[in-house]
Amino acid sequence: MLRVGRNKLYEMVARNADTDQLLAVLDAALARSSYLLGNEFSIVDAHVASWTAYIAMMGHDLKNHPSVEAWNARCTSRPAVKTAMLP
């Protein structure tokens, strides 16, 4: 039983590392522009923001990725995105 617990913990740590790598790529892109496809909000931003909002809600801290954190706040504060997201 303990071995299964260790495997699950390892998998969780590995997933967090994978998530951090993806967020680092996203952070670098967002350091160069306001939104993912340039300086205007698009459906791509709405889609990806739903993912970043979800992982933040699940306890993953976005503070290590300041461009993502700021972008996520911009996206999720938009009325249309608020309407589309689950409460």
Range of the domain at 53: 2-84
Residue 28 to residue 40: CA distance in whole angstroms: 17
We report the CATH number of the domain holding residue 38 as 1.20.1050.10
Residue 63 to residue 40: CA distance in whole angstroms: 23
Q: How many domains does the chain have?
A: 1
What tens-digit pLDDT sequence spans the chain (87 residues)?
444 455 565 565 556 678 889 999 999 999 999 999 999 999 999 999 989 988 888 888 899 999 999 999 999 999 988 887 766
pTM tops 0.75: yes
